Structure 1
């Protein structure tokens, strides 16, 4: 996940309090300022970065990160020595205006825990060079943006290697828009309409409920299947049930052997998921978003096998709990109870051409049935 640092120094006074509130609420990674007293009022959930002043004493700011401008090798060597001596909260700021300062930025990014870079010219090639230089370094690289539009361009450049963007927002709306731009983007999926061939009562087995840390939309679910080449869209418990309250964070997903389709064209077994695992929410229109597992519930329940076929003849299987309140999505985001499915019904799913090895697509011979 990329992160944001918010610079308070040039925020208009009329908006400063609102910007601070927005930054804390949006859980930005850090807030940069030149006034230790303002930084002392911030909660410990945000990094407090002091620029243009020495570290104050006796203000409860032991965790303060001090950001110092690096204009030459002498300053870099001093900061490097302090870091090697055990001082962790050190950050360097390098203004890149030419080739020597570009080299200095690369060296700083390799040497220090945090490096902020700002560029005189609009080209992003120098940023790419610093990213490459710092790729294997343990420190974090932050690029300063002059405005929100530039920040969004930098985020695209930061896809590999660099971690953060520093912005002085005009108002609180800029803070929220920046945080939204930094969210991990996941591509849409092509969903297809599958035709149900049969359902079969299997008897007792183990099924998995996925409880997530996010609220599902009514047309969202997860792609679950017995085979790596095909999945059915299981809907969340967002929709009302007659005998229990809704669980808008839950997917009654399927038997523990099943695959769940996730980020980066990778699958996981339901049995592998645990609190903190990333998963993929999928809408009936194919949109996707990354969410996080909060809890897995594995329980023995009667199971039901659903067999379906794609228009191209690909056979798909889903094994779920044999109960009326377990549902899948059909065309138009229609909500279908699995125990009422019958031959010829239509359900939404996804067909993949890749074979799988430990969840990753591979080009090898593999038959699943």
Structure 2
């Protein structure tokens, strides 16, 4: 998870915001007032801001980290040292790049609304011991900053307007996605079922050769459907696309919530899943629904869970095996093994619920 520093300066009720921040797991609380820092709980990092007029000596008595203007940076820096840089031209960008590569903390305020300067700083600091915290002005900017160059800034400094916004920020920064316990599924039967509507999911990401999305007719189990990353005859590869399945099917999104393929559209979020169970969020750029012949795949897990999938009845639609083998759906036969996952709880509007539910 990315670091969250909360700026308490200028708030009418800084200690109320601090209490909320500590409760929801914020990593640092920043102030230029030694009295405020001294009243903070020891469970959070107390950051003293001396770069904009605070007294470094007074702050050092109560703060875990004291941030000073880069022009007053100590010759030797460690985890107790922080440097502030406002990047508004090429010279200050060079300073930020140099500082971000050194041990300790670099707090940066980028005046350029684009994220090009941040990309340059992150590239310059890649592989070093330095840690960067980027000042953000709202929650939308925070989400962008943590994803720049795929790894993003180590953390953000956010100034909430009051109680509540820190909770929103911490929820947003939960960028890690869970690893899924993948299960080999054995094909039990293959049936040609005639025409139906199927969904191609075009993501905004380049999917890997062992990566796809989980799809199934039942919420209790899903098959890992491959992206069109692998070469096909007569057409170019489309590594962003998953020819996923019939429009009634479930797929898995963030926060362990299922979505119907029919619900997906531009801007929707899904989990891309690898055969080893690693996941990441991907954004849907487009969903294409077209009428095609359909093929039904019936499978079972080792524990006996029934898994059902309807896909386009076409050779170029592929699913993955447990070892990332690429299997054309029209070549499947009983006894073949597929990569998949079984989910323990039934679903209501996508959420896991504890109630009786039979799907067949």
Bin of the TM-score, shorter chain as denominator length: 0.5 to 0.7
Alignment of 1:207-222 (within 5 A): 207-222=198-213
1:202/1:69 CA distance change after superposition, 3 Å:
closer
Partner residue, 1:228: 219
Q: Is the 8 A contact 1:4 1:179 kept in 2?
A: no
**Corresponding residue number in structure 1 for 2:35:** 98
CA distance in 2 between counterparts of 1:305 and 1:312 reads 21
| Distance in 2 between residues matched to 1:323 and 1:177, nearest whole Å | 35
Cα pair distance change 1:72/1:243, threshold 3 Å: closer
For residues 50-69 of structure 1, give each alpha carbon's deviation from its aligned partner in whole angstroms, at most 9, with x where no partner exists.
Answer: xxxxxxxxxxxxxxxxxx99
Q: Secondary structure at the match of 2:281?
A: strand
Match in the other structure for 1:291: 282
Name the CA distance, whole Å, in 2 between partners of 1:264 and 1:363: 17
Query: How far has the Cα of 1:298 moved from its partner?
Result: 0.3
Aligned equivalents of 1:170, 1:234: Cα separation in 2: 35
- Alignment counterpart, residue 152 of structure 2, candidates 176, 179, 192: 179
- Three-state SS of the structure 1 residue aligned to 2:255 is helix
Aligned to 2:141: none
Q: Which secondary structure does the structure 1 equivalent of 2:32 belong to?
A: strand
Deviation at 1:172, TM superposition (A): 2.2
Task: Judge conservation of contact 2:3–2:154 (CA < 8 Å) in 1.
Answer: no
SS of match in other structure, 1:98: helix
CA pair 272-95 structure 1, distance change in 2 beyond 3 A: same
Instruction: Say if 2:113 is the partner of 1:122.
Output: no
State the partner residue of 1:250. Answer: 241
In structure 1, the residue matched to 2:92 is none
Is 1:363 matched up with 2:350?
no
CA offset digits 1:341-363 (Å, max 9, x no partner)? 00100001000011100000001
Q: 1:281 to 1:72 in 2, by over 3 A?
A: closer
Instruction: Say which of 149, 161, 181 aligns to 1:190.
Output: 181
Question: Could you tell me the TM-score, scaled by structure 2's length?
Answer: 0.59
Distance in structure 2 (CA, Å) of the matches to 1:270 and 1:218: 22
Kindly tell me the number of residue pairs found equivalent between the two proteins: 242
> Contact (CA 8 Å) 1:228, 1:355: kept in 2 or not?
yes
The unaligned stretches of length 5 or more in structure 1 are 6-67, 77-92, 104-116, 124-143, 153-165
Q: What's the CA shift for 1:150?
A: 7.5
Q: What whole-Å deviation, never above 9, does each CA across 1:205-226 have from its counterpart, x for those lacking one?
A: 0000000000001100000000
How far off its partner does 1:294 sit? 0.3
After superposition, residues 158-173 of structure 1 pair within 5 angstroms as 172-173=124-125
The structure 1 residue matched to 2:302, chosen from 311, 328, 342, is: 311
Shift of 1:102: 6.2
Please tell me whether the aligned partners of residues 303 and 319 of structure 1 are also in contact (alpha carbons under 8 angstroms): yes
TM-score computed with the length of structure 1 as normaliser? 0.58
Please state whether the residue corresponding to 2:240 is helix, strand or coil.
strand
Structure 1 residues 97 and 351: alpha-carbon distance in aligned structure 2, compared to 1, 3 A threshold: same
Q: Displacement of 1:204 after TM fit?
A: 0.4
Q: CA deviation at 1:97?
A: 2.7
Q: Distance in 1 between matches of 2:122 and 2:208?
A: 32
Q: In the TM superposition, what is the alpha-carbon distance from 1:173 to its structure 2 partner?
A: 2.2
**TM-aligned CA distance change 1:94 to 1:244, over 3 Å:** same
Match of 1:135 in 2: none
How far, CA to CA, are the matches of 2:231 and 2:274 in structure 1?
A: 18
Distance 1:359 1:70, change over 3 A: closer
User: Among 215, 220, 230, which residue is 1:239 paired with?
Assistant: 230
C-alpha spacing 1:180/1:197, structure 2 compared with 1 (3 Å): farther
